[in-house]
Amino acid sequence: MTFDPGLAQTRFGYGRSPEVAGPQSVDQMMALLRGPDLAAERFPVLSAELVSLKAKDLAQKRKVFAKAKGGTDAKDTAKEHYMQGRQQARLDAVAWTGAELARRVWTKDAFRERLTAFWADHFPAPGKTLFYRFTAPAYVNSAIRPHVMGKFEDMLISAVLSPQMLHYLDQVYSVGPNSTFAKQRGKGVRGLNENLAREVLELHTLGVDGAYTQQDVRQLAELLTGLTAGIGIETRYRTKRSEPGSETILGKEYQTRRSQMSDIHEVLRDLARHPDTARHIARKIAVHFVSDTPDIALVDVLERRFLETEGDLGAVTEALLRHPAAWHTHGDGVGNFKQPEMFVSSALRALTVPPDRLMQVTEKQLHRYFTAPLRKMGQPWRAPLGPDGFEEADTHWLSPQGLGARLQWALGAPAAVVPDLPDPRDFVITTLGEEAPASVRFAAKAAENRREGIALVLMSPAFQRV
């Protein structure tokens, strides 16, 4: 089989919706992906510029508050301003998540949302401080989302060199030990920090089995010195902080004449086009979208396509959709167990939560029905424990706590997020399709009340395994 309208929605989207028709062919899926970002237009979020401006303003308010003399009226006023700023930042983040959910629930082009989520988790950069938590959604929207059908190297550069990532992986603290900056400051100045360099090689590009050594990590870390950024401050290159001299990474020499940003772009492009990167990314895509143990032929095709096109993600995505192995079903022993954020998002889509409810979601509602339950299910919203993102293995998610938390949500949340619960006998068909298993149809019919009927459909293997 080379296309299935059900799998097109469940495996390559956020599931079926009773109100949004699913794509009828791979051609249509590709046309949507290659077309304008309609969901982003319909459910807009703050522009990156505005977010950065607001972050800068909040930082300024905090500074004024910190500097004001204690016990004075000025201190009280400054505190009030700062607290108002923080409250606004929190509310902005709530609205942002609401818009992201609205996109997932109402888009025709659901694969774009899945790709965005996938790449956001490939380049995770949850804020380590209040300010960067505030700018985290903007990072995904501006550094990741525009590139999901573009060149991998462009996404790599945009993500790795974003202020968000430079802060998350400590690059902003890294200084060349022999740089002018270090010499002027003398003792006590911070030295080299390898964190970003290592993760670029191990996680973002070549992969843990890739052909790099500790020497390459060290050399890349030296090459990356000079990069700085801050709250609302765009990434810049400061020669004074840069380690002098050339660096050799995977046998190629960079910065042979003088230290400059273009060499950093060059090394990232080289790493993006490396065969090990092609292998690493091909496998990760196949695992994430199809199965923990993907068909080798599928991985080979994705890898080849990546290499042939120098990392054109549109071409790689198309190769995935056009490969028969991508459409193998559970009957063939193929498929994945939904991660929690996909479970919740696809349930909201099946329930057709009205757009204005999502766009105008309150902080309390979002906490109660989305962020707190996701945490219990083991997947705090966009905040994995480390830079390697969330686990891909189904066995990780099939835990008693994870399933218990899903059942708690499935019994309690649907009745609160839609005006009227659908009839479970209809819901089982709109959600699972005409191929809904007889046992789930029976359960939906035999349930003692609507809530349990809906929960039984959402908890069924047919809904959770895609």
Partner 1 sequence: MAKRRMDRRSFLGQSLAMGCSLAASPVLTPVSFAATGGDNRLVVIILRGGLDGLDLLRPVGAELLRLRPTLAASQPSGMETAGGAMLNPACAPLWPLWQAGELEFVQAVSTPYRRKRSHFDGQDLLEAGTSDLESGGVRDGWLNRMLRHMPNTEMQTAYAIGADPMLLSRGEMPVQTWSPDVNFVLSSQGARLMQLTMERDPEMSHAMMRAMSMVDGSEAGGIVETDNQNMMSELNDMMDAQMRPKGAGAAKAHVRVAEFAADQLRDDARVACFSLGGWDTHAQQAKKLRKPLEHLSDSLLTLKARLGPAWGTTTVVAMTEFGRTVAENGTRGTDHGTGGAMILAGGALKGGRVLGRWPGLAEADLYERRDLMPTDDVRRYAAWAIRESFGLSRAALEQDVFPGVTLGDNPSLLA
Binding site for partner 1 (CB under 8 A): 70, 128-129, 169-170, 173, 190, 192-195, 198-199, 202, 337, 367-369, 372, 375-376, 378, 380, 385-388, 394-395, 398-405, 407-409, 411-413, 415-416, 437, 439-440, 442-443, 446-449, 451-452, 455-456, 459-462, 464-465
Least gap, CB of 385 to partner 1 (angstroms): 5
Q: Nearest CA to 347 among 363, 326, 370?
A: 370
Least gap, CB of 220 to partner 1 (angstroms): 12
Quote the CA–CA distance of 87 and 55 in Å, as a whole number.
12
Least gap, CB of 231 to partner 1 (angstroms): 15
Least gap, CB of 455 to partner 1 (angstroms): 7
Beta-bridge mates of residue 253? 248
Least gap, CB of 22 to partner 1 (angstroms): 23
Comparing CB distances to partner 1, the nearer of 32 and 250 is 250
Comparing CB distances to partner 1, the nearer of 42 and 396 is 396
Residues whose CB is less than 8 angstroms from the CB of residue 84 and which lie 6 or more positions away in sequence, other chains included? none
Comparing CB distances to partner 1, the nearer of 314 and 433 is 433
419, burial (CB in 10 Å: exposed 0-12, middle 13-18, buried 19+): exposed
Comparing CB distances to partner 1, the nearer of 23 and 453 is 453
Cα 342 to Cα 85, 157, 252, 390, distances in angstroms: 32, 27, 42, 13
Least gap, CB of 263 to partner 1 (angstroms): 22
How many residues comprise the chain?
466
Comparing CB distances to partner 1, the nearer of 173 and 237 is 173
CA atoms within 13 A on the CB side of 360: 4
Beta carbons of 33 and 112 less than 8 angstroms apart: yes
Furthest-apart CA atoms within the chain: distance in Å: 77
Least gap, CB of 399 to partner 1 (angstroms): 6
Question: In this structure, what are the phi and psi dihedrals at residue 53, rounded to the nearest 5 degrees?
Answer: -65, -45
Least gap, CB of 195 to partner 1 (angstroms): 4
Q: What is the residue whose two structure tokens read 């309150």? A: 362
Helix 450-459, helix 340-350: angle, nearest 10: 130
Quote the CA–CA distance of 342 and 446 in Å, as a whole number.
27
Which helix (H) or strand (E) segment holds residue 297: the answer is helix 296-308
Quote the CA–CA distance of 370 and 314 in Å, as a whole number.
31
Q: Nearest CA to 406 among 344, 324, 352?
A: 344
Least gap, CB of 398 to partner 1 (angstroms): 5
Cα 324 to Cα 4, 285, 297, distances in angstroms: 10, 15, 10
